[in-house]
A = this chain, B = another copy of it.
Amino acid sequence: MAHLFCITASFMLERIRIVLIGTSHPGNIGAAARAMKTMGLEQLALVAPRCEGITPEAIARASGADDILERATHHDSLDTALTDCRWVVGASARSRHLPWPLCSPREFSARLPGEMQGHDVTVALVFGREDKGLTNEELQRCHTHVHIPTSSDYSSLNLAAAVQVLAYECRQAALATPSGLSEAMPGSVHPFGVEWDNPLANHADTERFFEHLERTLTDIGFHDPANPRQLMARLRRLYMRSRMDVMELNMLRGILTRVDRLQNPPTGPADQDESPH
């Protein structure tokens, strides 16, 4: 039974990706790897670190978790680190401009098993820079933000400590999942409380939709990229929190394509109409 727990817990934990953006100190990368390994997490993605990633200091601080460092993936942009992810959670001290769905670490833990239903679901936990966290653009690529409550007298939680707390909550979620993660996964609840008819969209497809949406809204004169105000941020927030499934996303892209044609009618003599959905 203990062995079964280990297998199913690690099946869940191995699909959780810790993403560190713009880290300044190799020691923090090493310490984050160590925090991950203590809780059974394996996937580390480094996005545009502002230091040489794997230095002797990083390895020293990893203290035996060098395998995590060795297997870490390196990315120029956050998007490539998230391509296959279906739930993206940003560690944040609250959204600065626009309120964004927010949960506590405990709520994150409670939702995790449901979010990870299905064999191919990867979840990302995104952590920002030591000095200034995540940018608004990065925060707006997250489905939800998670805020670690700290003392109001002393809120200076360092990067590896934040990774440690959320990695711990991941492990708690994995251990609390009674009978392993399968397609059906008894004992956990789908994000919508019911078995869904389509998989939720991944990050790459979602970003392609937002690019298409912005292009179309610009073409029809509703959006001015030179004076964006909060239009795209607000539309992102709306669609991100609905957690689009792949069929819904395809329908929305179909609508955009139809609008594109109104704006720029095809010039061919006998245009074949696409099936609407």
Please give the residue numbers on chain A whose beta carbons come within 8 Å of chain B beta carbons, in ascending order: 94-95, 98-104, 107, 144, 192-197, 217, 220-224, 229, 231, 234-235, 237-239, 241-244, 247-248, 251, 254-255, 258-259, 262-263, 273, 276-277
Contacts and interface: CB of A to CB of B under 8 A. Distances in A.
Nearest to A273: B221
- Residue among A196, A197, A276 with most chain B CB within 10 A: A276
A110 to B, nearest CB: 12
Given A99-B195, A101-B193, A242-B242, A262 B220 contact: yes
A141 B197 CA distance: 19
Contact of A277 (B95, B231, B251): B231
A225 B98 CA distance: 37
Given A102-B193, A104-B193, A222-B258, 13 more contacts: A99-B194, A101-B193, A107-B193, A220-B258, A221-B273, A222-B277, A223-B276, A234-B247, A234-B248, A235-B251, A237-B248, A241-B242, A241-B243
Nearest to A220: B258
Contact of A103 (B193, B223, B231, B251): B193
A228 to B, nearest CB: 10
A229 B192 contact: no
